[in-house]
Amino acid sequence: MNERPILVARPSMPPLEEYRKMLEDIWESRILTHTGPKHRQLQEELEAYLDVAHVSLMANGHLSLEMGLTAMGLTGEVITTPFTFASTTQAILRCGLVPVFCDIREDDYTIDCDKLEGLINDRTSAILPVHVYGNICDVERIQEIADRRGLKVLYDAAHAFGETWQGISVARFGDMSAFSFNATKVFHTVEGGCLTFANDALDEFLSSMRQFGQVTGTEEYPYIGTNAKMSEMHAAMGLCNLRHLEEYIGNRKLAVRRYRKRLEGIEGVRLCREKENIKYNYTYFPVLFEEEKLGIGRDGIADALKRHSVFARKYFYPLTSDFGCCKDLGLRADVPVAKYVSERILTLPCYSDITCEEVDRICDIILEQIRR
């Protein structure tokens, strides 16, 4: 079979000449890290693009989550969702906190606020919701609950870069939002991430924490920090990609529109409904396959695609609450909706240079399996 493989994700890349020019600047300056000029420029441009008071750049999205949890000074329990990437749950555990798992909504797979409040007790210190696949959480209700119960809110916004809800940047919600700039994301710095926040007092603290707890410009180490610095090479890639971000998103939107045209309206094939008040970044295209209605399940579809060199992803499966490391700690989760979705969800290939012909090739395989 000579078909070109189609991977589930493929990094967006700026014109090589643009990045080469950035590298020439770095070669001339010999500044490679430690909050150099590219780092500072990217921070400023992201603060403007995301419409936030502060952006603190990190080496990756996972460290952004850990730094956010640390900066909030949390103790005890953090309510979150098990329908997420491993990083969300593991960041909570690595910070010495206990994740409490809340079920998800059936329509957009975000945390179910109807079930959230029943999990709050005197040990709860924060809520860590996830904007899953770019579906923005019920931010108003989450904030109302948090304010009334005296809780902090840190959003895992790894899937939601550049999105808005009712014209408001997703980066402005909660006390903080954590983003991932991994190569597979709609905006990337190869590896990287950031925290966004409005509290001025956190800016210097996070700058110190990402550099071993050292107070900038001094020899003092009042905090137990880590090494979470973003290099100049990574910041340079971010600056290049930010210039082309709307183009990347526009191309992804075309692919998603094609998928919807081919797959909508089929009983047993569930797509997330797009909401009018959200500006999406089209970072993922999840499809839920109900075997009880189709006669073929998610795994069968994934295997058929793989035979044709198309590599979709069971994302998110398994639930983080089912990880061995969580079970060993005695963590439990009553999350029937999340379990149902996790066993049936498949994210199809979606990236900035996927073609409509490739989307058709993927849909043809899926529809042929359903017809059988």
Would you state the structure tokens that stand for residue 37, as one six-digit string?
A: 């000029």
For residues 18-36, give the mean pLDDT: 97
Segment holding 275, helix H or strand E = none
Helix then strand then coil, in percent of the chain rounded to 5, is 40, 15, 40
Residues 226, 212: Cα–Cα separation, whole Å:
4
Q: What percentage of the chain has pLDDT greater than the value 90?
A: 98
At 292-310, the pLDDT tens digits run 999 999 999 999 999 999 9
Would you state the structure tokens that stand for residue 319, as one six-digit string?
A: 């639930």
- The residues near 347 (Cβ < 8 Å, ≥ 6 apart) are 8, 133, 284, 285, 286, 287, 312, 313, 315
Cβ burial of 285 (10 Å; 0-12, 13-18, 19+) is: buried
Tally of CA atoms within 13 A in the half-sphere of 4 that contains its CB:
6
pTM greater than 0.75 (yes/no): yes
Within 10 angstroms of residue 252's Cβ, the number of other Cβ atoms is 23
C-alpha distances (whole Å) from 183 to each of 85, 163, 214, 283 are 15, 18, 29, 12
Q: What is the pLDDT of residue 235?
A: 98
Residue 140 amino acid letter: E
Residues 58, 73: Cα–Cα separation, whole Å:
19
- Reply yes or no on whether the pLDDT at 2 is more than 80: no
Q: What is the DSSP string of 181-226?
A: --TTSSS--SS-EEEEE--THHHHHHHHHTBTTPPTTSS---S---
Residue 55 pLDDT class (50, 70, 90 cuts):
very high
Indicate the SS3 state at residue 356. helix
Q: What is the pLDDT of residue 319?
A: 98
For residues 43-49, give the mean pLDDT: 98
Angle of helix 245-263 versus helix 356-371 axis, rounded to 10: 30
Q: Return the closest-CA partner of residue 84 out of 59, 118, 109.
A: 109
Beta carbons of 59 and 191 less than 8 angstroms apart: yes
Residues 71, 299: Cα–Cα separation, whole Å:
41
At 166-181, the pLDDT tens digits run 999 999 999 999 999 9
Average pLDDT, whole number, for the chain? Answer: 97
Residues 145, 138: Cα–Cα separation, whole Å:
11
Residues 136, 145: Cα–Cα separation, whole Å:
17
Q: Return the closest-CA partner of residue 145 out of 108, 115, 172, 182.
A: 115
Q: What is the pLDDT of residue 97?
A: 98
At 193-213, the pLDDT tens digits run 999 999 999 999 999 999 999
Interstrand relation of 193-197 and 269-271 (parallel, antiparallel or unpaired):
unpaired
Q: Return the closest-CA partner of residue 132 out of 78, 93, 176, 170.
A: 170
Residues 274, 280: Cα–Cα separation, whole Å:
8
For residues 221-244, give the mean pLDDT: 97
Please give the domain boundaries of the chain with CATH numbers for all domains. 16-243 (3.40.640.10), 245-371 (3.90.1150.10)
Q: What is the DSSP letter of 274?
A: P
- Reply yes or no on whether the pLDDT at 1 is more than 60: no
Residue 372 pLDDT class (50, 70, 90 cuts):
confident
